[in-house]
Amino acid sequence: MRAKSMNEITPLNDISSKVFDELFSRLQDLDTDALLVYLIDTVDESALVHLAEQFHIMGNEGWLLTKTEVEKREIIKKAVELHRYKGTKYALVKVLNSFNINGEIQEWFEYEGNPYHFKVNIFLQNYAYNQKVFESLKKMIEEYKNVRSVLEEISIESQFDAVLNWATYTNAENEIMIG
């Protein structure tokens, strides 16, 4: 007995069966990879903004600070964990690490401050920032901190690696320095 092909799946030979067979064969040709949207590393970049909205990380919860596609994917992958620990020191450190920002959180009892106050010390390596980035960072910290806690201070230490080319020329009358 020979095996039936996919376009002969229905045993009856009427028009409804033939239409069903044709529809079923077209469904087999569909690319199902587009349906696998929760595979964050492989989903199309155009779907990232929709996933960010679904996982509730738009705006001040991290999306505004993302610059690259890699950062967008990382913040989406960490969204569930960040929401689980929201309001803790752990969540603040994790959200900073999502952007490759090394941060240290000092709670009030670690520096003899006012109760429920905290400081954030951020160490940036080859990361340019301006007032807009600073305000977004502050809003993101406010979003993930404990509700009763008060952000007392944000301290940012920035370091850039650069190759400096210096040249000097000395003349008997004056010295010119180019750098």
Domains of the chain: which residue ranges? 34-159
**pLDDT 10s per residue in the chain (179 long)?**
455 555 555 566 677 777 877 887 887 777 766 666 678 888 889 989 999 999 999 988 888 888 899 989 999 999 999 999 999 999 999 988 888 888 899 999 999 999 999 999 998 888 777 888 889 889 999 999 999 999 999 998 888 887 777 766 555 555 555 55
Residue 150: C-alpha distances to residues 15, 59, 130, 136, 143 (Å): 72, 21, 23, 17, 12
Q: Which residues of 63-74 are buried (b: 16+ CB within 10 A; e: fewer)?
A: bbbbeeeebbbb
pLDDT of amino acid 7? 52
pLDDT of amino acid 30? 74
